[in-house]
């Protein structure tokens, strides 16, 4: 691939990432959330209670980042932590009733953000985006993990 095409691809990905995160922050702020916290809430809604370390893996985040998010979400009453029944060193995180209610609002925001992001694209392109982006993520992950 030549530099002009490579630059166009890399710049498009970089700008989309920055602007998508900024738009997510603007949409999540009225809910009292910061980017990343919505992903944690959505993961717990999908999977149910999780050990904190597994949650970090599922989110692709470093454990200290997840610990900070959990502390903030716990302080706001959206999640609770408890020692894991099988391993007292591990912590289980689960949604509270308030957290489950907030997840429904997060889903609305998430849908709105996705609709804004893909506006103007053909339905066939939109249908292929998750798969194409997953392949791209896997390509980057494979190169990163091989170091």
pTM (2 decimals)? 0.87
The answer to whether 56 and 64 have CB atoms below 8 angstroms apart is no
The H or E element spanning position 50 is: strand 50-51
- The pair of three-digit structure tokens given for residue 81, joined into one six-digit string: 């932590």
- Mean residue pLDDT of the chain comes to 93
The reported pLDDT for the residue numbered 87 is: 82
If DSSP codes are grouped into helix, strand and coil, which group holds residue 33?
Answer: coil
Cα 89 to Cα 62: distance, rounded to the nearest angstrom:
18
- CATH topology (fold) of 3-145: Arc Repressor Mutant, subunit A (1.10.10)
37-84 confidence digits (pLDDT tens): 999 999 999 999 999 999 999 999 899 999 999 999 999 999 999 998
At CA 16, angle to CA 14 and CA 17, rounded to 5? 65
Pairing verdict, β 91-95 and 79-83: antiparallel
């Amino acid at each position: 691939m030549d530099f002009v095409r490579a630059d166009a691809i890399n710049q498009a990905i970089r700008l989309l990432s920055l602007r998508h995160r900024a738009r997510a922050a603007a949409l999540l702020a009225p809910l009292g959330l910061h980017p990343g916290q919505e992903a944690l809430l959505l993961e717990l809604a999908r999977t149910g209670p999780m050990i904190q370390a597994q949650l970090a893996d599922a989110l692709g985040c470093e454990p200290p980042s997840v610990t900070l998010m959990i502390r903030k979400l716990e302080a706001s009453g959206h999640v609770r932590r408890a020692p894991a029944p099988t391993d007292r060193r591990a912590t289980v995180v689960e949604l509270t009733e308030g957290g489950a209610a907030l997840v429904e609002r997060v889903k609305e925001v998430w849908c709105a953000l996705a609709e804004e992001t893909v506006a103007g694209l053909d339905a066939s392109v939109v249908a292929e985006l998750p798969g194409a982006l997953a392949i791209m993520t896997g390509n980057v992950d494979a190169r990163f993990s091989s170091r």
